[in-house]
Amino acid sequence: MARMMNDYHTDFPAIPVAKVRRYARELNRLEEQYGRGLRAKEIVNEARPRKSPLHDYFEWNKEKAAEKYLLQQARTLVAVIRVTVVDNDGRKTPARAMVSVIIKEKGRKLHVFERHDKVLDDPDFRSQRVDTALNELEAWCKRWEVHRELEPLRKTILGLVVQERRRLLEPKKLRGEIDDIRHQLELAGVKL
């Protein structure tokens, strides 16, 4: 029979571990009180009193909460709109119409949504999306690590991710080294 150690921690750096532990203890207490798993609405209702150990996790300022909800709705809107992407070989694939990429604007990195066709045609955007896909595969493997029956699949996926990262990074590393050598030659006054 599986058991869970109460060594609560997080992979989400925005929440201090001490708070994560406090939240986890309260959620466990509530689960015992209810005699079953908890619904999201129940958690919110239990967190409403200022003395609740969960209270400070939530945004109770209605204007700020509304703004955060609107931002989440915008992300959901972008996620639900689908298109069919046709590649150069005529192969059709359903995909999101817009996807998240990072751009630089005035020296700052911004997460933006770009049209999928534009992303596929831009080497930097395409590289970002491939990196995101590989990160998601690794995250999936980590999330399902506790299910031992998936171990052969996890190992295969992780092995392929490592292999694919090597394959994709080697040309970039080589290009970077060539650019460094070219720059050093230019500094030495060698014309190319």
Instruction: Tell me how far apart the terminal alpha carbons of the chain are, to the nearest angstrom.
Output: 69
108 and 148 housed in the same domain: no
64 and 54 housed in the same domain: no
Quote the pLDDT of residue 134.
93
Q: Which of 58, 77, 97 is the last residue of a domain?
A: 58
126 and 174 housed in the same domain: yes
51 and 64 housed in the same domain: no
The tally of domains found in the chain comes to: 3
- Counting Cβ atoms within 10 Å, is residue 156 exposed (0-12), middle (13-18) or buried (19+)? exposed
Residue 178 reports pLDDT greater than 70: no
Spatial separation of the C-alpha atoms in residues 17 and 57, rounded to whole Å: 13
How far is the CA of 58 from the CAs of 21, 63, 163, in angstroms? 16, 13, 41
Higher pLDDT, 179 or 130: 130
71 and 102 housed in the same domain: yes
Average pLDDT over residues 121-126: 91
130 and 152 housed in the same domain: yes
pTM summary value: 0.71
Average pLDDT over residues 87-100: 90
| Residue span of the structural domain in which 71 resides | 59-112
Q: Which of 23, 40, 58 is the last residue of a domain?
A: 58
Tell me, yes or no, whether 117 lies in a domain: no
